Every structure is written in structure tokens, then in C-alpha cells.
Structure 1
């Protein structure tokens, strides 16, 4: 091994392969292995002592009930200990150990705790922390201490004897009086030091392998993480594509239709009034106007410009203005929200208003939106006949799917006879700066 630089390129089993290389003893790996075992042993000892005290105190206080939250909190002690172990292994072989924990879908301590208690890796980390606190730290300290202390004592025998002038107690077991014997022991220590580098590194490699097996993401966790990441990428790509199509239609086809309608209007002015040509030009201009209106509705259905420029409240007001049922819109938001969240919220409101006008028989509807504790809540209610249910042609299943993509939930209360209440909750954080293209 060419020294530390090779550690960053180590793959699985590389530590074991390094033991067989001629340059092993000239590398820094034996010293890193000894340091790794010393650090893990000392921290394991301190962690075990602290854990014993905490469990004892929590067990005593549990009789008075106040210790129960502490017992629950002790289930999470494996998280910081596992983070330390993953960092320490990286110092040994240069390869990072991925963090298997998922990011909570919504901000806040409660969401974080719920997710952590449900994850299997949390309990694996707790088990490994208990193993390290009881079993591993003595092994680490004994191996590292023996490999460093014994050669160190042997090498120091002659200097200590010369300083004392009479004798030296070697390892507290053997009294040495002869400088020749002390020098011979120093030679033995000099030979033992590189020889002991092999078992020390082997033990460190074995321990690092255990850490990677237990504290790295499992196959299911990797798949879940990749699915979450890929879904987020797909959502972003889908929203970007919708905005591109909306922009192309708005700036391209719509402008051409406006120009065509104006050209037909000018042509009708030059046509003989009352003649067949004037009638046909008027009909063509009317058809162009109808097509333009349909195109505008299509653009609004793809991604309304007002949503991009002015945000969710104004977009919902625009949707309410186009509804045949009178709609009141009330929003209380701290600012702009992430584009996928605004898009999901808008299309839920738009589809809900379309359902109200088609199926509910309502005389009035209300759209309310608010943001609190990292959660966007949108409620759409009406005074119609009720009875809305998934699979009934109302598109509720599609709305639920759209909301779930941004980690949100959709609930509907619609008893027969009404009223109907549709609620959407989406975890998100406000943007510190407006999205690109906003006013």
C-alpha cells in the first residue's frame, strides 16, 4: 500500500488484502488500526458506564412514572453511537458508511421521532450499541493495549535499567538486572512490534466489517431510499416539463392564434359587407376565438401562468372566478412554497371545484388554506348533497395519488345529504426566495 492515499480507494475486503502486501508494514494502516481499536475501546467503555447509570436511574424513576420518558429516550441512544462508529470506520479505511436513516416527510421533532421509532435500523443501532458497551470494548482495549504496551515495555527495558542502575520490573512480572538481557529484550520488542501489527489490523478489519454489516443500509432500506429519491426527481422533472409545455403554448400557439384572429378581423374589413366572403371571414374569426378560448383552458389545466407568477392563493382565486358555483377563497400563508407543493395544492382545489360544479348541486363553496408547524393545510367545502367517494367518477383517487407524491395526505368527509369537506395536508417549508419566474 502506498500509505494513506490508498485508503480512499479501498473496496470491500481491501483491509484484509492489505495484510498480504509486502508494503503493509511500511504503511500507516497498522497505526490506524491500533488507533481505531483504542478509540472504539475507550468510547465503548465510557458509553457502557454512562448507559448503565442511565438505565439504573430510569429504572428507579420508572416506579414514579417520571422515568418512563427517559426509558423511551434510551431507545435512541444507538443513533449518536452508530454515527460515531460510522465516522470512525471511515478514518480507518477511507470509505464512508452511508447513513441508513430516512429524512422525515415533514419538519418538527414529532415527525422525526415517529420515523426513528418505526425504522428497523434504529433498533439495529441500539443492539450494536449494547454489544459494543458490553462485549466489544474489552476486546478492543486488550488487543490494542497488548500490541502497543508489550513491545513498548520490552523496548524500554534497557533505558529504564540504565536509569535505575540496579533493576527494572518488566511488565510487573520479571525483574531484570543484566544490561545484556535488557538489550536482548529490546531486540525482541523491536521484532514483536511489526509482527503484532498483523493481528491488530486483522481484529480492526473484522470489527469494521461488523460495523458495515450492521450499521449500513440494508437492501430494503437502499431500495426505499432510491425509490424516494427517484420519485422526487420524477416529480421535479414532471413539473418542469409541465411548465415548459405551458410556456410553449402560451408564447407560441396562443400568440399565433391571436395574430390569426386579428388578421381575419382586418380582412373582414376589406371584404364587401353582407357578401359571402365577409360571412366566411366572420365565421373563421369566431372559430379562431373559440379555439383560443379552448387553448387557454388547456394551458390552465396544464400549469396556469398565475400559479408560477403569483403563487397558490392567487391561482386558487383565479380557479374560483372560473367556477359556476360561487366560491370564497381565504388563504393565510407565510410566502411562496416549493413549486411541487403549490402545483399539487392548486390542482386539488381546481379538481375539487370542478367536482362541486358537476356533481354536488351546491349553492356555495369555500376554499381555505393555512400554514402552521411545517404543514400546508387546504380545505375545500361545499353545501351540496354529499356522497362523494373514491371510484364514483369524482377523481378522488387521482387527487390522492397526486398529493402522495409530495408526501401529503388527502381526506374526504361527505355523508349523504352533505356537507362535503375535502382536506389536504402537505409537509413543506416556505421558500426563502421566490421561485424563478415569480412576480
Structure 2
């Protein structure tokens, strides 16, 4: 495995001849430049902050330095440095400032910026002066002696008056250049480790961020399910009822038309087409959010899907409690997609659907005795379902060796709902009058 930091690279035999010594020089040299500039800016803003005018600007400067240092960290640390800041809950500069002022990461960035602008950048340049400047001065001795013609001083201390002495100094400089690459890289590694410790998220901040992501995903799932229910309700109460009325009107018109005339034939054709459209719309509504799932839960809904399968299906869903709507919907459609794939691709003679809820986890298994070799990447429709289940912090696993059998397993952590919470949850539409 290739080294990711100077400290890891130090253990490699070919370290002096690889890129890491130059990465260390680049990191420390750029640190000197950035630190000196940051020191000037922070000094000016510090004077203004004494009058409370520059305090927001001082915070902003710390954030800017932190961002620049996370980018510069890639010179000496190949692992990306994550941004520790949260996204503000509301748009606008005021919300952004409130969020940043309340974050520990903001104050750590300011502390790092102050440390960089006062202490770290002189240390960076001092390390470079020893690790690069001293060997360079020794290596240049023959050239400076040739330029002077008589004598030259090496490192302001040793007088060189002959070429053998100058070549000896140059040889010593070459040895030092290789030898000092090790401590120079160690210093760069320490600087990079300090920057990562102060400028990247702490473990508690990562957990908070993960919690926010999970909550956001849950809100998205709830919004998605609410939109599905709205579409289903609008289709049922709007388009379906109009089609029922149209079908009845066409049927009455057929009774009034002469039985053997061309009008009767056209009305019969229109009546049949309207009936077909009504049937397809009912199937569409059932696919969007089946009423049996809303009224009776996952077990009866899976049994209903099994009854409509092209392959005979045994079901074992007894005792499955009512679960959160998003979980029931995701598991139901995963089961339906799996049964559809069994009918289309597997060549199976029989399938089995099992659903259990235990220890706070729903497990749904769909098995078949088909030819196996199922591959979700070939457009089976399960990739999108896997993403949807992942939003619920669940997993979708497919075990399908060539020759079969095939097992699709869905596992979603979720609590069982009490009867009171089920009865108080909103329904997608009335269970009566489904035309």
C-alpha cells in the first residue's frame, strides 16, 4: 500500500529518492507564506476587534484560513480533510453567522489561524533553513569559490580557499541533504497531523452530522410517502370517478342507439376502451399505494401480491405487526419487484415469501427455485429499491448462485406500532367505494 503521510513514507527504503521529501518541502514552504500572510491579516483584524467591529471578520478570517489549510493539507496528507461545518438551517448571512459562531470547529479554526500566524510559520521556515538551506549553502561552495576566484565562506563560518575544500563541503552538503530529509519529513508530518486534529471534524461532530443526515433522510421518506398517498387519492377521487361516470354514460348511450347501426358499433368500441382504461387506472392506483397495505399492513399486502403472481407463491407472514408507513411501503414494493423478477427471469416453478419482525428489525425473504444468476446491475429494478431501503437505514441482499436457488433479503430496523398509533394514522383513501 502506498504511503499516505510523510510518517508512513519514512519507513520505506527508497524514501529519500521518492516524492515525499519534496512534498515535505512544499508543505513547509507554503506554510511559511500562508502563515506570514495570515499573521498580517489577523493583526489588522485583531486591532479592529478591540472595538467589537472586527470580531465577525476575525471569525471569518479563521474560517477562511481553515479552508485554505484543509486544501493545502493534501500536499502532506493524501487523505481528504472533511469540512467540519454544518449547513445552516436557514438561508442568509445572519443564519450563517449564528451557525458558525455556535460551532466548536469555528473557534478551533480561529485558534489554529492565530497559532499559524504567530508561531507555526516561523518554525516552518526554520525547519526549511536547516533542512534545505544548510545543505544548499554547502553544495554551492564550489560555485561561489569560482565566482570569487580566491576564497569564500561556507555558512558564514568556515573559510574555503581551495577547490578540494570546496568539493569536500559540497560532498558534505549532498550527504546532509539526504540525511536531513528524514527530520524534515517528520516535522512536516507533525504539522500535518496538528492541522488535521484542529481543522477536521471530531468524532462527536461526525456523530451529530450522521444524526442530521439520518433525520433528513427520514423527512425525505415521509415526504415521498405523503406525495404518493396524495397522488393515489387524487387519482381515485378524481380521474377514476370520472371514468366510472363516462363508462356508465357510454353504456346508457348504447341502449338508446339502434342495435345494428354504425353508431352502436362506435359506442360499443368506446365503451370497451373506457372500461380498459378504467381497469388500467385501478391497477396503477393499486401499484402506487395498495389499499390493503394501508388498511391491514404488510402481511396481508404481501399475501395479496402473492395471489397475483405469475408463479405459485407460498407466504409466511403471520404475526407481522403494523410498522411505520415508509417501512411497510418499501418492504412491500421490494417484495412485489422480487416476485415480478421471479415471474419474468427466473424460470422458477415455485416461490416463497417470509416476513418476520424481531428484535426491532423487519426481515423479508423472497426465495425461488429458479435458475439463479440474478444480477441487480442488469436492470432488474432492484437497484432503486436498494437505495430506497438504504434511506431507511436498511439493507437489501441478493444471493443467487448460478443454478439457483435465489434469495432476496430485506432487513430494515424499525419499531412495531401500537394499535392506537395505527388507528390514528391518516389513510390514503376510504376503503369503501373503490369502484
- Which bin holds the TM-score, normalised by the shorter protein? 0.5 to 0.7
In the TM superposition, residue 269 of structure 1 has moved relative to its aligned partner by: 11
Q: Deviations over 1:137-183 (max 9, x none)?
A: 12111001211111111111011112211001111122111211110
Q: 1:161 to 1:268 in 2, by over 3 A?
A: closer
Q: How big is each residue's C-alpha offset from its partner over 1:250-269, in whole Å with a ceiling of 9 and x where there is no partner?
A: 44797666666777788899
Shift of 1:31: 0.6
> Aligned to 2:132, which of 144, 148, 158?
148
Partner SS for 1:68:
coil
Among candidates 178, 192, 200, match of residue 208 of structure 1: 192
> Where does 1:14-413 land on structure 2 (aligned, <5 Å)?
14-59=5-50, 67-248=51-232, 250-251=234-235
Residues in 1 aligned to 2:21 and 2:60: alpha-carbon distance in whole angstroms: 33
* Cα distance in 2 for residues equivalent to 1:31 and 1:129: 25
Q: Distance in 2 between matches of 1:267 and 1:51?
A: 84
Shift of 1:224: 2.1
Give the match's secondary structure for 2:156: coil
Instruction: Tell me the CA shift for residue 91 of structure 1.
Output: 2.3
The separation in 2 between residues aligned to 1:270 and 1:183, in whole angstroms, is: 114
User: CA distance change for structure 1 residues 128 and 268 in 2, over 3 Å: closer, same or farther?
Assistant: same
The superposition leaves residues 54-74 of structure 1 with CA deviations (integer Å, 9 ceiling, x where unpaired) of 323543xxxxxxx32223432
Residue 269 and residue 44 in structure 1: after superposition, are their counterparts in 2 closer, same or farther (change >3 A)? Answer: closer
Q: 1:260, 1:136 → 2: CA distance?
A: 79
User: Distance in 2 between the 1:246 and 1:57 partners?
Assistant: 56
Distance of 1:153 and 1:263 partners within structure 2 = 98
In 1, the alpha carbon distance for the partners of 2:165 and 2:254 equals 123
CA distance in 1, matches of 2:103, 2:187: 30
Distance in 2, matches of 1:201 and 1:139, equals 14
For the 8 Å contact 2:6–2:76, the answer to whether it is kept is no
Q: Is the 8 A contact 2:6 2:24 kept in 1?
A: no
How much does 1:95 deviate?
1.9
Structure 2 distance, partners of 1:50, 1:38, is 19
In 1: Cα distance, 2:151 partner to 2:7 partner: 42
Structure 1 gap segments, 5+ residues each: 60-66, 272-291, 300-397, 399-439
SS at 2:159's partner residue?
strand
Residues in 2 aligned to 1:180 and 1:102: alpha-carbon distance in whole angstroms: 63
Between 1:254-263 and 1:198-207, the stretch displaced more is: 254-263
Distance 1:265 1:134 in 2: 87
Give the number of equivalent residue pairs: 259
Return the alpha-carbon distance in structure 1 between the equivalents of residues 202 and 155 of structure 2. Answer: 46
> Is the 2:45–2:57 contact (alpha carbons within 8 Å) kept by the matching residues of 1?
no
Using the alignment, how far apart are the partners of 1:264 and 1:165 within structure 2?
114
Note closer, same or farther for the CA distance 1:21–1:263 as it changes in structure 2 (3 Å cut): same
Contact 1:82–1:129 at 8 Å: present in 2 too? Answer: yes
